[in-house]
Amino acid sequence: MPKISEQQWQERRQQILEAAWRCFFRNGVQATTIDDIIGESGMSASAMYRYFNGKDDIIRTAIASSLTGLGAALGPLLTGAEPQPPAGWMGEMLKGIERFCARRDFNLMPLGIHGWSEAQRDEEVRNVLRGYYLQFRAQIVARVEAWQRAGLASAEVPAIDVAETLMSTLLGYIVQATIMRDLGPESHARGLAGLMTASGADPR
């Protein structure tokens, strides 16, 4: 066979990554064997090793790749110019996450959870996640500052604190969505509104 084209090479990698996602979705990251992925991808063991250096390489790439995709999917909501207020923004963000994670035969949310778990024991994975999340959070900070200028968030509180809080709410949604499986994006939009429109002030 002649040398494979760059495009074919990328397609092969993607094929393997998707197989890995399906396996991780079903069994978790650690419990997935390389043979599971090989079987799911329809390739031979050694063919796969031409495209990835090993299990860890697949895990890291699968996690990083899903985060890249998520970042691209949520970009407009994070950097867009329209001054949507917090509660609505929260609903849109979660809808965007749900939409991005739902795939034909698997869902990326559990993979996200597995990624957090993996990050606890693989410093490299943690650094990848950390990098993406910090970037993500920085974008939320910008959004919060816009809200502060518009009077939709208190200017007395550092924007970073608000951003961290909203980030937690987004991340925690994923936990409840995968463990309880009884809530949707609207719930948090309403919930956040319910906190923000309290009649009595809450000066902590």
Partner DNA sequence: GATGAATGAGTCTTCATTCAT
Partner DNA sequence: AATGAATGAAGACTCATTCAT
Compare residues 14 and 33 and give the one whose CB is closer to DNA. Answer: 33
- From 64, 52, 117, 103, select the one nearest 38 (Cα to Cα): 52
- From 51, 37, 62, 44, select the one nearest 9 (Cα to Cα): 51
Distance of closest approach, residue 126 Cβ to DNA, in angstroms: 19
Q: Which does 103 bind (CB under 5 to 8 A by kind): DNA, a copy of itself, none?
A: none
Q: Which does 55 bind (CB under 5 to 8 A by kind): a copy of itself, DNA, none?
A: DNA
Q: d(Cα 102, Cα 92) in Å, to the nearest integer?
A: 15
Distance of closest approach, residue 87 Cβ to a copy of itself, in angstroms: 4
CB 125 within 8 A of CB 59: yes
Q: Which does 44 bind (CB under 5 to 8 A by kind): a copy of itself, DNA, none?
A: DNA
Q: d(Cα 8, Cα 17) in Å, to the nearest integer?
A: 14
Q: d(Cα 189, Cα 130) in Å, to the nearest integer?
A: 26
Binding site for DNA (CB under 7 A): 1-4, 12, 32-35, 43-47, 49-50, 54-56
Compare residues 39 and 158 and give the one whose CB is closer to a copy of itself. Answer: 158
